[in-house]
Amino acid sequence: MFFLADKSTLFKERNFFLPFNKLNSTQEYKQSLPVLSTVFRFMLYKTNVKSLLVTAAIVSWALLLGNVLLMAESARQPGSVKLALPYLNNLLIIVFIVSVFIFQRLSANSLKGIDFSSYLWNLFSKAAIAAYLSIALYFAYRISTGYARLQSPLLLHLVYQVNFGLLVFFLAKAFYIWRQLLLYHKNRFLQVAWEWFEILLFSTLVLTLLNFNYTNYIFLPLFILMGLYVLFLCTNLKWVAYLSFNKKSRSLVLLGAILVSCYIFTKFFQEFADSPALIIDYSDVAFLTMSMLFVGCYTLAAFLVSLFSLPTSSVFEQKSDDLLNFQRLSQSIQQGQSEAQVYDLLFESTIKASDASSAWFETSRGNNNIHISHLLNINAEKIERIRHLLMAYNIQQIDYINNNLDRNTGFRDLALPWKSLIILPIKSKQRMFGTLYLLRDIEQGFDRETINVLRTFTSQTVLTLDNLRLAAESLQNERYKEELKIATQVQESLVPKTFPSDSWFEIATHSKAAKEVGGDFYDFLQLSESRIAIIIGDVSGKGISAAFHMAQMKGIFHGLMQQDMPPSDFMKQANSALSRCLEKTSFITSSLYIIDYRMQGFVFARAGHCHTLYYNAMMEDVFYFQTDGLGLGIVRDKSYNNHVREMYYDYNPGDVMVIYTDGIVEARSPTNDEYGEDRLKYMLTQTYHLEAEDIKCAIINDLEDFTSTDNLYDDQTLLVIKFKPIQQKPDNNVK
């Protein structure tokens, strides 16, 4: 059968979310719901329903044919037994119509997209062709019977029956394809109106079932009302507007062919209406008349609307082209296009939008450095002449429209083939990107509407270019971040990870930078077997510049301390070295300690750095060393030498020295209080008996409790050194 042609597409169906009202197997489907997985069942369900419908249609049609032939046979031979059941026909007709229509309803759902002419082609090639087939069949019958000069009611019935099948198939297909088009850009009201139409239409089947004559005067007003309803539905033809000129003309041909199909079917069935030769008359089926009315009306409406909108379609095409170009412009950022590509797009779109006959585009690079990047139907010599004239008038690179160049003497003298000119500068607040010149060979070439569109294009271009720049900048920022990460790693490698472990002292360190790189540092150098130099420092400021100076200071420390000098001498020389390379507003604070365990003492100098916190185990006292000392880089001449002091101190086993940077004592609490020297001192009085590592942890924990946020304002460094009693040499222990 004809609808079998569609069967091959059945299994390609992927639309699982179709409406499933009015279907016989809904009940079964609902019962099986908990058993099968949803998607799989939908698929099975749809495929099953479709094959069920196809089977129902074939069986009902075949039974109908059989019954009609039987009836015809018995009508011819009055004496024979009446085997056929006349009321069965109506039932079979209804089953056939309903199954074909529902089948098409399901199939039509798969049509998607806005290529409407393909809908029409689909309808024509799969269904409307049936009308031509039916007429061919009818003529074949006429010729064969005419040739053989015989009357064959059975053959006539067969032809009539086949044509009935073709008609129903055509109507069902057309009905649901028109539905798809009619409901394009639908609103709620239209959706409801359509649903009611479908319900009303299907309800007319009841008339057929009960064998009412619908042309009866009782039903006549109702059918007139229904006809008006159909006319109302036929006004929904929004899709026609979306056809381009070419597609519209192609659609006109297809619509004409479909219209002819409608005519053929109508004519055929009218001819046989109330024919005495036939025992069945399908023109009595109200449903078919109504649906033919709808299909015919809608096809005619679509045909006429397409025909009359043909001349205006170019306007609509232009607008949708503009819209598409706007989209392309604004999307060029996501597509990672370059500035040059954006200019290409601008040049192309503005020429299309204004229908310019000639154009050129200049990109500006800085001061008066202009480069002509795009040309259309114009040579460099003419451009040069126009530019000279514009320069004389002092109107280059500003918005300028001249819709009648001949009226201007300057332009008239140039004898240009153009009559209208528009200049569109492409510029943002910060930057001039370029200038677009469009020329037309007619007067009043750039009307208000066109200018508005052109301006929208240029402003969109500026926006796009700005956004492109922003995108590039953010990419650059990403790179900086990556490089900063490397800087962090480099700086981390500058901080000593392990101190020499020795039996006479232990050391614990903590350091945390507020930013990726910091200005705090500490380091050590083993001067001789019994002497070690430890330095701590803090560069003013934070971030990269501080990190550079910190690296510099580390270099100075290692360079100078190779010569093993007293701390005060180190400070003097370091100050002199830094004076030459530190910028004016920067300075460094530092403290240098040289510990000699053989002498059980240390010597240190402080250059503006935080006071050293100390616990003396002998006197059980915690105090700060109060010594003078000016920061490095503050006084940049010899007078610095008067500002640095050195101090000797003998330590006892169990003494604790706490060295830190101002990030510790100036750390803030949420209420903006400073941690302070007093609290640090108190912490040491509570913890001096612990190991160096534990003292450090206790202080840092207390500090973190105090600040209670992860947000560091300044770099923090803390070193805890605990002196231990001199151990007996291992070999002494053995003895």
Partner 1 sequence: MKITQDIKDSTIIMTLDGELDASSSVVLDEELSDPEIMKYKKILVDCRNLNYISSAGLGVFISHLQRFEDAQIKLIFFNMQDKVRNVFEILGLDLLMTIVSNYEEAITIADE
Q: Which two tokens stand for residue 240?
A: 């026609």
- The yes or no reply on residue 383 touching partner 1 (CB under 8 A) is no
Q: Which of 543, 626, 539, 541 lies closest to 590 in space, CA to CA? A: 539
Q: Which stretches of 32-85 are DSSP H helices?
A: 38-76
The pairing of strands 432-440 and 505-512 is unpaired
Q: Which is nearer to partner 1, 165 or 663 (CB)?
A: 663
Q: Which of 621, 633, 713 lies closest to 666 in space, CA to CA? A: 713
Q: Which is nearer to partner 1, 6 or 662 (CB)?
A: 662
Q: Which is nearer to partner 1, 493 or 585 (CB)?
A: 585
Span from 30-38, 240-248, 453-461, 578-586 in contact with partner 1 (CB under 8 A): 578-586
- Cα gap 410→414, rounded to integer Å: 7
Binders of partner 1 among residues 289 to 318 (CB under 8 A) are none
- The yes or no reply on residue 549 touching partner 1 (CB under 8 A) is no
Say what the alpha-carbon torsion angle 85, 86, 90, 91 is, to the nearest 10 degrees.
-10
DSSP at 629:
B
- The yes or no reply on residue 572 touching partner 1 (CB under 8 A) is no
- Cα gap 619→359, rounded to integer Å: 94
Binders of partner 1 among residues 166 to 195 (CB under 8 A) are none
Binders of partner 1 among residues 345 to 374 (CB under 8 A) are none
Q: How far is CA 574 from the centre of its chain?
A: 58
- The yes or no reply on residue 629 touching partner 1 (CB under 8 A) is yes
CA distances from 353 to 200, 453, 579 (A): 48, 7, 67
Among 67, 357, 589, 612, which residue sits at the site for partner 1 (rule: CB under 8 A)?
A: 589
Span from 40-48, 235-243, 270-278, 586-594 in contact with partner 1 (CB under 8 A): 586-594
Q: Which is nearer to partner 1, 123 or 550 (CB)?
A: 550
Span from 265-273, 342-350, 558-566, 628-636 in contact with partner 1 (CB under 8 A): 628-636
- Cα gap 374→356, rounded to integer Å: 14
H or E element at residue 582: none
Among 153, 227, 496, 541, which residue sits at the site for partner 1 (rule: CB under 8 A)?
A: 541
Q: Which is nearer to partner 1, 543 or 566 (CB)?
A: 543
Among 445, 537, 567, 631, which residue sits at the site for partner 1 (rule: CB under 8 A)?
A: 631
Among 374, 554, 609, 696, which residue sits at the site for partner 1 (rule: CB under 8 A)?
A: 609
Q: Mask of contacts with partner 1, 656-685, x by CB under 8 A?
A: ------x-----------x-x---------
Among 67, 134, 540, 717, which residue sits at the site for partner 1 (rule: CB under 8 A)?
A: 540
What's the closest the beta carbon of residue 482 comes to partner 1, in angstroms? Answer: 24
List, in sequence order, every residue forming a beta bridge with 604; answer none if it has no partner: 593, 647
What's the closest the beta carbon of residue 583 comes to partner 1, in angstroms? Answer: 8
- The yes or no reply on residue 646 touching partner 1 (CB under 8 A) is no
Say if residues 376 and 351 touch (Cβ distance below 8 Å): yes
CA distances from 575 to 580, 589, 607, 704, 720 (A): 9, 10, 9, 34, 26
Span from 47-55, 233-241, 579-587, 597-605 in contact with partner 1 (CB under 8 A): 579-587
Span from 46-54, 423-431, 494-502, 534-542 in contact with partner 1 (CB under 8 A): 534-542
Terminal Cα distance for the chain, rounded: 114
- The yes or no reply on residue 584 touching partner 1 (CB under 8 A) is yes
277 phi and psi, to 5 degrees? -75, -20
Ramachandran region of residue 201, left (φ > 0), alpha (ψ -120 to 50) or beta? alpha
Among 538, 680, 703, 719, which residue sits at the site for partner 1 (rule: CB under 8 A)?
A: 538
Among 585, 671, 711, 733, which residue sits at the site for partner 1 (rule: CB under 8 A)?
A: 585
- The yes or no reply on residue 567 touching partner 1 (CB under 8 A) is no
Span from 16-24, 383-391, 536-544, 692-700 in contact with partner 1 (CB under 8 A): 536-544
- The yes or no reply on residue 518 touching partner 1 (CB under 8 A) is no
CA distances from 663 to 516, 588, 674, 713 (A): 15, 14, 10, 8
Among 447, 473, 621, 628, which residue sits at the site for partner 1 (rule: CB under 8 A)?
A: 628
Count of residues engaged in binding partner 1, rule: CB under 8 A: 25
Say what the alpha-carbon torsion angle 369, 375, 381, 382 is, to the nearest 10 degrees.
-110
CA distances from 625 to 177, 646, 657 (A): 95, 11, 10
- Cα gap 208→2, rounded to integer Å: 24
- The yes or no reply on residue 536 touching partner 1 (CB under 8 A) is no
Span from 1-9, 21-29, 377-385, 632-640 in contact with partner 1 (CB under 8 A): 632-640
Q: Which of 42, 44, 49 lies closest to 99 in space, CA to CA? A: 49
Among 61, 176, 587, 593, which residue sits at the site for partner 1 (rule: CB under 8 A)?
A: 587
What's the closest the beta carbon of residue 661 comes to partner 1, in angstroms? Answer: 11
Span from 142-150, 166-174, 562-570, 585-593 in contact with partner 1 (CB under 8 A): 585-593
Span from 22-30, 183-191, 500-508, 630-638 in contact with partner 1 (CB under 8 A): 630-638
Q: Which of 115, 105, 262 lies closest to 184 in space, CA to CA? A: 115
- The yes or no reply on residue 610 touching partner 1 (CB under 8 A) is yes
What's the closest the beta carbon of residue 539 comes to partner 1, in angstroms? Answer: 8
Residue 114's contacts (CB-CB under 8 Å, 6 or more residues apart) are 184, 239, 242
Q: Which is nearer to partner 1, 445 or 631 (CB)?
A: 631
Binders of partner 1 among residues 393 to 452 (CB under 8 A) are none
- The yes or no reply on residue 635 touching partner 1 (CB under 8 A) is yes
Q: Which of 172, 189, 169, 199 lies closest to 235 in space, CA to CA? A: 189
Q: Which is nearer to partner 1, 585 or 732 (CB)?
A: 585
3-state secondary structure of 568: helix
DSSP at 219:
T
Say if residues 544 and 567 touch (Cβ distance below 8 Å): no
Which amino acid is it at 60?
S
What's the closest the beta carbon of residue 608 comes to partner 1, in angstroms? Answer: 4
- The yes or no reply on residue 542 touching partner 1 (CB under 8 A) is yes
SS3 content of the chain, % helix, strand, coil (to 5): 55, 15, 30
Neighbours of 418 (CB within 10 A): 23
Say if residues 439 and 403 touch (Cβ distance below 8 Å): no
Residues recorded for the chain: 735
Q: Which is nearer to partner 1, 506 or 538 (CB)?
A: 538
What's the closest the beta carbon of residue 569 comes to partner 1, in angstroms? Answer: 17
Q: Which is nearer to partner 1, 96 or 587 (CB)?
A: 587
Place of tokens 């100098």: 605
What's the closest the beta carbon of residue 587 comes to partner 1, in angstroms? Answer: 6
Among 108, 243, 560, 634, which residue sits at the site for partner 1 (rule: CB under 8 A)?
A: 634
- The yes or no reply on residue 630 touching partner 1 (CB under 8 A) is yes
Residue 348's contacts (CB-CB under 8 Å, 6 or more residues apart) are 325
Among 425, 434, 567, 608, which residue sits at the site for partner 1 (rule: CB under 8 A)?
A: 608
What's the closest the beta carbon of residue 483 comes to partner 1, in angstroms? Answer: 22
CA distances from 115 to 26, 239, 246, 627 (A): 33, 10, 12, 89
Q: Which residues bind partner 1 (CB under 8 A)?
A: 538, 540-542, 584-587, 589, 607-611, 628-631, 634-636, 643, 662, 674, 676
